[in-house]
């Protein structure tokens, strides 16, 4: 084989290697990356569609739960709302057997469309009664949320405990609730 033929084959081989490299960098790699991005977008859309289907299937249950929450909403009248909150608190104290030592209530208005009747309470009791108080608060149909809770011991054995808690009763103030802004 002549050196000129060999040189020609080397040039053709080098051009082919450079051409394949450019084909990979300019065409194949971007196409594969685009394909993968498109697949990820399709997967995300499928998940959103499935979530939407689940919400549509659960629409009746969700609307019923919302109606229950609106029904349990605190009344628009501030004194009636406070009365309902204090009745619920009395029920929790009675059912749990704790001794309420202090209570500090305060109304708060939130820009998100609701008001809260925040209570800071201190109570004493044993572990069972304090646990029952927290349970009664959490399962009550009233719109209440336990924000903070701290339990400390009063004696060396831990038989008597102190609890300080902050919980809020919620009153919706936007359209759809029974209450309206003042």
**pLDDT tens by residue, 133-178:** 999 999 988 888 899 999 999 888 878 999 999 999 988 875 544 4
Question: Does pTM top 0.75 for this prediction?
Answer: no
Fold of 74-172: Alpha-Beta Plaits (3.30.70)
Please determine, for residue 182, whether its predicted confidence score (pLDDT) is greater than 70: no
Report pLDDT for 56: 92
The CA angle 134-101-138, to the nearest 5 degrees, is 15
Beta strands in the chain (DSSP E): 99-110, 114-125, 144-153, 161-172
Per-residue model confidence as pLDDT tens digits over 50-97: 999 999 999 999 888 878 777 777 888 889 999 999 999 999 999 999
Please determine, for residue 124, whether its predicted confidence score (pLDDT) is greater than 70: yes
- Residues 6 or more apart whose CB falls under 8 angstroms from that of 82 comprise 105, 117
Check: CB of residue 143 under 8 Å from CB of residue 74. yes
Residues 116-136 have a mean pLDDT of: 94
């Amino acid at each position: 084989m002549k050196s000129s033929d060999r040189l020609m084959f080397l040039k053709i081989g080098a051009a082919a290697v450079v051409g394949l490299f450019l084909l990979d960098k300019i065409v194949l790699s971007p196409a594969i990356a685009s394909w993968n991005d498109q697949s990820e977008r399709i997967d995300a859309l499928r998940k959103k569609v499935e979530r939407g289907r689940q919400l549509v299937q659960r629409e009746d249950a969700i609307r019923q739960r919302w109606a229950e929450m609106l029904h349990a909403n605190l009344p628009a009248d501030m004194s009636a709302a406070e009365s309902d909150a204090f009745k619920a608190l009395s029920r929790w104290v009675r059912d749990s057997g704790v001794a309420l030592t202090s209570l500090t209530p305060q109304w708060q208005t939130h820009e998100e469309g609701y008001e809260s009747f925040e209570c800071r309470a201190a109570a004493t009791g044993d572990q069972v009664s304090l646990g029952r108080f927290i349970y009664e608060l959490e399962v009550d149909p009233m719109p209440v949320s336990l924000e903070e809770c701290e339990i400390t011991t009063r004696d060396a054995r831990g038989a008597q405990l102190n609890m300080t808690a902050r919980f809020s009763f919620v009153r919706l103030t936007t359209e759809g609730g029974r209450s309206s802004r003042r």
